[in-house]
Structure 1
Amino acid sequence: MSDEPRFLNDVTVELVKHSASDTDVLWAARVSTAGEQSLEEVNKDPERSKGLINYLMRDRHGSPFEHNSMTFFVSAPILVFREFMRHRVGWSYNEESGRYRELEPVFYVPGEQRKLVQEGKPGRYVFVDGTPEQHKLVTEAMEGAYRQSYAAYQEMLEAGVAREVARAVLPVGLFSTMYATCNARSLMHFLSLRTKNEQAKVPSFPQREIEMVAEKMEAAWAELMPLTHAAFVANGRVAP
């Protein structure tokens, strides 16, 4: 492991395992009227299937969207995970532990495209681009603080201090990793709150860093369940 810090301005999201398709929604919904014959109905009429999924989304019949599973690997700053784990219903998490391993010096520094200045009041604010001077200040201040904190962390470890104690000096800009497992319904709820989109019925104001994770998750999910994703978008990006 290198002691030289690395600075990243992006996150990593990988779909590592899944059992998720639009047909999972169809057979779960049709069992209410077709019973054990619901599996036979799945592939009969694609247009009817599309209409059923849209109906379920529009009228918020949510349970048929729970009969699937997706597991993502996520590498992101700790500040993202602290927000992410507010989402508890329909999610399972396992995160890298600073008690059991020496944490690597990988830190988040916003890229030039990250808007830096907040204007307005809570609930009405917007973010606007920072000046070159502000971006320079942010980069230099963060990198300097990260180097100092990681040096202190290493100094304590070398003196025999336990990892679970020494890690307290590390900032929330440190990258961590986790596996996150969800179903489509819980993912839609996450996306409705953690993405900003003009098609959304209810506006959301997510922190940009967690939105970066959400966008990558949505792209992977849209390929797995295109009819469900299209219905989610068409109905205002509201979770059923």
Structure 2
Amino acid sequence: RYLMRHRHTTPFEMCELKLHLRLPMDCWRQWIRHRTASVNEYSTRYSLAIDAAQTTASDQWRLQASSNRQGSEGFLEHDKGKIFSVREHELHELARTVYNERIEAGLAREQARKDLPLSTYTEAYWKTNLHNLLHFLALRMESHAQLEIRTYASTIGSEIVRRWVPMVWDAFNDYMFHAMELSKQEIDIISRLQAGDADGAWDIAVQYGFLPPKGETIKFNLERGEIEKKLEQLGIRPPWLE
């Protein structure tokens, strides 16, 4: 716990884990962005593409988030979602049929695969050390991560890491995943609010560009939104929301 608390990461780098993954290609694209692992992926240039694709239940089609261009919020109505699930099935069937026709015609696998959808499953061996794995989990278990990769990450954390290194898992949750990191600006604002100086907190927010001067229209500010979420966790209501 001391090592985790004070970010002494070298001992965690001595622990290694190799996972055999099976996941859709669109999820794998996000996963492989973490360039701190050794990877050996199933090759559809050498082998036939895996005959499986991720499907979406009619009540699981998510709507585009209004405040986050790469996020989702809420679900499409079941009746409308049913239409998209049927179309999804038709698309998968067509893509697989065309792929199989190309293979049977003797076309090269490296070319026959090019129209398979991103929902097609791939497999990979993924080897990483504990330090980098925890960093991966901190990012991909977080609520803003895409649901599909968040589900994988949460399962790895709760079902594998927790059993493998239980003390590290508890320390990770206490000092990293469920902890809060504060910037200098955030500390300045919180200090003023805790001292009962709401005007001073407002002035600091203006000074740092999080708010316009009093009397002007308050517009969207990403960093201010992050501060507001942290204040909410601490049970503090910022004066500009009154």
- On whether the aligned pair clears a TM of 0.5, the verdict is yes
Contact 1:58 1:235 in 2 (8 A): yes
Task: Output the CA distance in 2 between the equivalents of 1:111 and 1:228.
Answer: 36
SS of residue in 2 equivalent to 1:178 = strand
Which whole-Å CA distance do the structure 2 matches of 1:191 and 1:175 have between them? Answer: 21
TM-score (norm 1): 0.69
Amino acid at match of 2:86: E
- Give the structure, 1 or 2, with the largest relative contact order (CA under 8 Å, sep 6 or more): 1
1:113–1:95 CA distance, 2 compared to 1 (3 A) = farther
Counterpart amino acid of 2:177? R
2:75 matches 1:129: yes
1:108 pairs, out of 44, 54, 62, with 54
TM-score normalised by length of structure 2 = 0.68
Give the counterpart letter for 1:68 in structure 2.
Answer: C
Kept in 2, the 8 Å contact 1:106–1:175? The answer is yes
From the superposition, tell whether residues 166 and 123 of structure 1 become closer, same or farther in structure 2 (CA, over 3 Å).
closer
| Residue matched to 1:206 | 145
Alignment of 1:69 onto 2:16:
yes
Q: Which structure has the highest strand share of the two?
A: 1
**Pairing 1:167-186 to 2, within 5 Å after superposition:** 167-186=113-132
Once the two structures are superposed, what CA deviation does each residue of 1:124-171 show, in whole Å capped at 9, x if it has no partner?
Answer: 955212210232123112111111111111111111110010000101
Structure 2 residue runs without a partner (length 5+): 180-242
Q: Does 1:80 align with 2:19?
A: no
Q: Aligned pair 1:223/2:169, yes or no?
A: no
CA distance in 1, matches of 2:120, 2:176: 35
Match of 1:233 in 2: 173
Q: Could you tell me which residue of structure 2 aligns to residue 142 of structure 1?
A: 88
Take 2:92 and 2:50, find their aligned partners in 1: how far apart are those partners?
A: 12
Which of 84, 87, 95 lines up with 2:41 in the alignment? 95
- Aligned-pair CA distance for 1:114: 3.6
- Write the mapping of 1:15-54 to structure 2, written as runs, cut at 5 A: 54=1
Unaligned 5+ residue runs, structure 1? 1-53, 197-203
**CA deviation vs aligned residue, 1:26-48 (integer Å, no higher than 9, x gap):** xxxxxxxxxxxxxxxxxxxxxxx
Per-residue Cα deviation, 1:93-120 (whole angstroms, up to 9, x for no partner): 1111101111132010124664511232
Structure 1 vs Structure 2 CA RMSD: 2.0
Contact 1:188 / 1:237 at 8 angstroms: preserved in 2?
no
- How many correspondences in the alignment? 178
Q: Distance in 2 between matches of 1:140 and 1:124?
A: 25
Structure 1 residue 83: deviation in Å?
0.7
